[in-house]
Amino acid sequence: MMSLQTYLQGAFQLVAMFIPSDAERPSFFKRSRLHAGEGAHDEEWLQLLLFESPELVILDRMDADAGNFVPIVRELPLTREGGVVFLDILGVSRTGRLVLIECKLWRNPQARREVIAQTLEYAALTRGLTYGDLTAKVRQSTGNHLSLNPIYDLAKQRWPKLDESTFVDAVSRSLDLGDFY
């Protein structure tokens, strides 16, 4: 029987990312000091950086066939007993597998423990959604009430040859199985 720790080590891979100075484009394995105080980098800054530069999220380290993903929405509200929690970033891969991202800075003491619990909770809450439910949440969160299928529309912009029915079926399967990056 596999222990929870062994399972979690296999299910999650923590990846360090290094951010260069403001004058350069973000890249991997380049150290840069982040200073506290006024104008400091915070979790909102990290969330925006990853949303605007999804290439920094290296899914292929978890799955060689993952490729890249399209960010769909920031701060997606998920309803739970007792209130609402917010998933930092929801994205989708070309294959229709959803990408759930929770941002924590290393200096945040929650970064080591609570991020795993939060991610598991967000995955459980997302798994309970249908494609229609998720689409409605995305439309509400983005204020995009013109598009009937904003998840597909954003993915289609990135991958023009994407087939809508195949893609929607794959996202639905990702939701049904709770099979997320």
* DSSP-assigned states of every residue in 9-57: HHH----------TTS---SS-------STT---HHHHHHHHHH-GGGS
pLDDT for 104 equals 78
Confidence of residue 145 (pLDDT cuts 50, 70, 90): confident
**Interatomic CA distance for residues 181 and 179, integer angstroms:** 7
pTM across the whole model:
0.76
Radius of gyration of the chain (CA): 17
Structure tokens at 61: 């380290």
Percent pLDDT > 90 in the chain is: 48
Is the pLDDT assigned to residue 25 strictly greater than 80?
A: no
Torsions phi, psi of 99, nearest 5?
-120, 120
Q: Of 55-64, 108-117, 156-165, where does the model show the most confidence?
A: 156-165
Element (H, E) at 90: strand 83-93
